[in-house]
Amino acid sequence: PVVKYRKDYQPSQYLIKNTNLLFQLFDDYTLVTSELKITRNPLDNRETLLPIELDGVELELVSIHLDGQVLDDSDYEKRAHTLIINKVSETFNLTTVVKILPHKNTSLEGLYTSSGKYCTQCEAEGFRKITFYLDRPEVMSEFTVRIEGDKAKYPLLLSNGNPVDRGELTDGRHFVAWHDPFVKPSYLFALVAGDLDCLEDTFTTMSGREVKLELYVDKGKLDQCRFAMDSLIASMKWDEQEFGREYDLDLYMIVAVSDFNMGAMENKGLNIFNTKYVLANKKTATDADFEGVERVIAHEYFHNWTGNRITCRDWFQLSLKEGLTVFRDQKFSEDMQSAAVERIDQVKIIRAAQFAEDSGPMAHPIRPDSYIEMNNFYTVTVYNKGAEVIRMMHTLLGKTGFRKGMDLYFDRHDGQAVTCEDFIKAMEDANGKDWSLFRNWYRQAGTPVLKVDLEKLADGHFRLNCEQSCPATPGQEHKNPFMLPIKVGFLNNTGHPVKFAETNDAAGVDETLLVMTETKQSFDIYCESDSLVPSLLRDFSSPVKLEYSYTQEELASLFAADPNPFNRWDAGQTLMTQMLMSETSKLTEDELSVVDNAFIKILNDEELDNALKSLAVMVPELNSLIGMSDNVKLDQLFAKHKQLKVHLGEKLEHTWFSIYNTTSGDTSGDRWLRNTALRYMMIANDEQHFELAATQQTHADNMTDELAALQVIANASEGYRSEYIEQFYQKWKEEELVMDKWFTAQVVNDDEAILEHVKALLNHEKFSIENPNKVRAVVGAFVAGNTSQFHNPTGQGYEFLADIIIQLNKINPQIAAGLAKQFNQWRKFDSKRQALIQEQLVRIKSLDNLSNDVFEVVDKSLQ
């Protein structure tokens, strides 16, 4: 496998001005005719004109013409992944015809079929599976596309832009032609052909243009589309209000497909979505699903400006569009939902998944320096840490300064393919800043550790001493300091928020932003209080691991009264984390009662909304605890984690019971709290409360409650559960997305025998190894959601995962590699588990025909 390095970037020597494509869809194959108008790139300063190397993978070349002349065999060379044409001039037209096999394409990259329809996925490098092309994002071209197919089977023939022609052909075939007036890279190309239902609506933009909105779904699913359409309209409005960005085409289409490697794809004017992020009504989707739909619809829509109008020069710059667009979808969700709840969810992802990635063998900066397979770099680092980096800019500049930077970025770079550096420069220039140091966030991998202590210098005068460090990561031994915005406030010794100042003559404030730029730095604090409890890093103002030696009492007082809702939640998490990760093999009675007392206060707090209460009374997830530390005693952690949950269930059983009975299920926050109570009650005594759960499952009028009941039932003692698992199945077996939930509910049971059941589910008639949602629902959910059984000391969980990776390596390498990353944490565990995982990694690496995707992950893991 070839490693590509960022430092080796050279502009493409050629550009493609116009791309004219003809797709002829036949039952067994598709013919793709491509006419490309190619010119020399004005940015290219090489002395000689080199042979042009077009990308092309798994293409059968039928014919090739250069400026209308058939090319002799000696004029070109077809290799496994390229087509090289030797003699070309500064400007020429190239026509190729290739044959491809969409029905056999299980990688779900390029053109493939999903439940009887054709669809495409071209990001990152999938277009090369459709035709020979300069498949790199800086090559932006004007596309015209004609699609021909059987009219009865494929009445809809869609591509990017606007339809410009349509008509009948012989043999029951027809065609539609499309033109996209905006230049775009090949990764934003899309095609869909099928027979689908459509929900239509319109949106009038801020300048008064009417845009047609079309949402295409499989027949019979229209009753699950309204929410996605409303989310799209809300996103269009929000981007106008918040960033002054208006939609540019007259048509915006979304198509939902069942077989999709990721969540959705922002193809210009024709988004293709995983059904999971479109289909939702109260009966089939949970409250969390609705939030997912709203977020992903918004994310893809926001890409129209941050990604499509301004795209990436090369794939090392992926965070330019993804970090920024995740930040924009986060801000949108904060405005649509509760901002604090959103922020907590965002930070949970960073701590559980990103910190883990940052401390493992695949650690990379948000702008990676190298890759073998680009698909492996659609990571939580590039996306979510990338969004945290953008958020720090927002925190440092404030809303107005950030907007100025965005405006300048759009003004300067509309229609271009640019770099992360161009983005930072626009932010700097618009605000008169020098952010040399800030750039370390783009250069360096690893999670910085921020150590803080509070010193009392004199009455009324304190000092916060801060020190940052960052552990070595692969290829980066030494790290330079980061610029860290640290939002702080203080509580006094009676647990009340207090005003303070940074100089002794300044007026008191409730909160301030300290900006750390050196390895060690101190900040003076003036406050008329005997002692202070600092509330640090409010809203997780920098993506770092915070170390401060809080006492349990201090954490309990922050948990009870920090006015910053994020930090209030975080204090509870830190309190429990300290106990769970300490050296002791069991939690003491004292520790347990600190937590249950703190929970009682939270649950009785009438000011706090039910969604925040639910979050506050959740014991930190195992993955998050593992992700945050470098050395984990798994067996001890599992035992203490269970001990804490059982204690909270039993000790507060009456409280849970009363919450369950007195909380209405009218809002998502209410349902969340009620179902949290049900979970704890079932942990305390599943026999006694089983009927309650069973009744809830049977009579629920919404999926949130129905699924919550199924989940606790699937975890209850054997003998009770099968009847309800079967009831759910019979009710929902025709709804694919609900079946995914049904699968997942069964695999997160921490019963020792669960692995056999997981294996049996792989043979279930509703399971398909070729469908990524199903693989995620069973295998992904078991590995990531059933931490204790995946890590069962027998090693059978590891062997199971390796077997699936080996099977998927041939079918869908991208999904296989994603699963292989689950092994990346192995060096944190005990030597026995390390040996067991290593054995599986070696087994995978020794395979013949190992895909680049899986090779890269496994090879780095073993280094």
Helix, strand, or coil (residue 50):
coil
* Closest separation in Å from C-beta 377 to ligand HT7: 9
What does the block give as tokens for 207? 């300048």
Return the number of the residue (148 or 266) whose C-beta is nearest ligand HT7: 266
Q: How far is Cα 488 from Cα 546, in angstroms, rounded to an integer?
A: 13
Q: Which is nearer to Zn ion, 322 or 539 (CB)?
A: 322
CB of 552 to ligand HT7, least distance (A): 41
User: What whole-number distance in Å separates Cα of residue 791 and Cα of residue 798?
Assistant: 7
**Least distance from C-beta 341 to ligand HT7, angstroms?**
23
Choose the binding region for ligand HT7 from 16-24, 260-268, 435-443, 679-687 (rule: CB under 6 A). 260-268
Closer residue to ligand HT7 in complex, CB, 322/705: 322
State yes or no: residue 135 binds ligand HT7 (CB under 6 A): no
Residues in the chain: 863
* C-alpha distance from residue 422 to each of 8, 312, 407 (Å): 18, 10, 13
Nearer to ligand HT7, 121 or 542 (CB): 121
418 within 8 A of 185, measured Cβ to Cβ: no
The distance of Cα 490 from the centroid of its chain, to the nearest Å, equals: 34
CB of 661 to ligand HT7, least distance (A): 43
In whole angstroms, the minimum distance from the beta carbon of 264 to Zn ion comes to: 8
CB proximity list for 590: less than 8 A, separation 6 or greater? none
Half-sphere exposure in the Cβ direction for 453 (13 Å, CA): 5
- Choose the one of ligand HT7, Zn ion, none that binds residue 124, judging by a C-beta under 5 to 8 angstroms depending on kind: ligand HT7
Binder among 105, 131, 231, 375 for ligand HT7 (CB under 6 A): 375
State the minimum distance, in angstroms, from the CB of residue 259 to ligand HT7: 12
Report the nearest approach of ligand HT7 to the CB of residue 155 (Å): 26
Our CB check for ligand HT7 shows the closer of 375 and 792 to be: 375
Residues contacting residue 132 through CB under 8 Å, at least 6 positions apart: 34, 54, 55, 56, 59, 61, 83, 96, 98
* CA 539 to mean position of chain CA atoms: 20
| DSSP per residue, 106-166 | -S--EEEEETTEEEEE-TTTTGGGTS-B--STT--EEEEEEEEEETTT--EEEESSEEEEE
How many C-beta atoms surround the C-beta of residue 836 within 10 A? 21
The correct pick among 148, 218, 266, 735 for binding ligand HT7 (CB under 6 A) is: 266
Nearer to ligand HT7, 299 or 568 (CB): 299
Q: Which does 375 bind (CB under 5 to 8 A by kind): Zn ion, ligand HT7, none?
A: ligand HT7
Q: What tokens appear for 827 in the block?
A: 């060096």
Question: Given the rule CB under 5 A, which of 132-140, 146-154, 323-331, 588-596 is the region that contacts Zn ion?
Answer: 323-331
Only segment of 320-328, 333-341, 348-356, 452-460 that touches Zn ion (CB under 5 A): 320-328
Pick between residue 322 and residue 706 the one whose CB is nearest to ligand HT7. 322
State the nearest-atom distance from the C-beta of 139 to Zn ion, in Å.
20
Q: Residue 829: which of 787, 781, 786, 800 has the closest Cα?
A: 787
300 is catalytic: yes
Residue pair 459/481 in contact by the 8 Å Cβ criterion = no
CB of 266 to Zn ion, least distance (A): 6
Cα–Cα distance for residue pair 688/682, rounded to 1 Å: 8
Q: Residue 490: name its binding partner from Zn ion, ligand HT7, none (Cβ under 5 to 8 Å by kind).
A: none
Dist CA 185 CA 10 (whole Å): 17
The residues, any chain, with a CB within 8 Å of residue 433's CB and separated by 6 or more, are 397, 427
DSSP 19: E
Q: Which residues contact 284 (CB under 8 A, 6 or more apart)?
A: 224, 703, 732, 735, 737, 738
Q: Any bridge partners for residue 180, and if so which?
A: 143
Q: Please say whether the beta carbons of 275 and 736 come within 8 A.
A: yes
Contact partner, 819, from ligand HT7, Zn ion, none, Cβ < 5-8 Å per class: none
Binding mask 93-132 for ligand HT7 (x = CB under 6 A): ----------------------------x-xx--------
317 binds, among ligand HT7, Zn ion, none (CB under 5 to 8 A by kind): none
Over the Cα atoms of the chain, what is R_g?
A: 28
Residue among 384 and 676 whose Cβ is closer to ligand HT7: 384
Q: Which of residues 378, 462, 540, 657 is near ligand HT7 by CB under 6 A?
A: 378
**Cα gap 81→262, rounded to integer Å:** 24
Single out the segment in contact with Zn ion by CB under 5 A; choices: 316-324, 397-405, 423-431, 688-696.
316-324
Give the C-alpha separation, 49 to 651, whole Å. 77
Calpha distance 99→58 (Å, rounded)? 9
Query: Sign of torsion, CA 727 731 734 738?
Result: negative
Nearest approach, Cβ of residue 123 and Zn ion (Å): 9
Question: CB 371 → ligand HT7: shortest distance, Å?
Answer: 12
Count of residues in contact with ligand HT7, rule CB under 6 A: 15
Inter-residue contact 847 to 809 (CB < 8 Å) = yes
**Binding range to ligand HT7, per CB under 6 A, among 257-265, 426-434, 487-495, 623-631:** 257-265
> Could you give the dihedral angle defined by the CA atoms of residues 125, 126, 128 and 131, in that order, rounded to the nearest 10 degrees?
-150
Given Zn ion, ligand HT7, none, residue 268, with its beta carbon under 5 to 8 Å by kind, binds none
Catalytic residue among 125, 148, 294, 300, which?
300
For Zn ion, the closer CB: 325 or 473? 325
Q: Which is nearer to ligand HT7, 107 or 696 (CB)?
A: 107
Beta bridge pairs of residue 253: 214, 270
Contacting residue, 114, 120, 258, 261, with ligand HT7 by CB under 6 A: 261
**Closest CB to Zn ion among residues 322, 428:** 322
840 neighbors 802 (Cβ within 8 angstroms): yes
207, amino acid identity: S
CA dihedral 155, 159, 160, 166 (to 10 degrees): -60
Residue 265 engages ligand HT7 in binding (rule: CB under 6 A): yes
| Site residues (CB under 6 A) for ligand HT7, limited to 270-329 | 299-300, 303, 322
Residues engaged in binding ligand HT7 (CB under 6 A): 121, 123-124, 261-262, 264-266, 299-300, 303, 322, 375, 378, 814
Residues that bind Zn ion (CB under 5 A): 322, 325
Which residues are part of the catalytic machinery?
A: 300
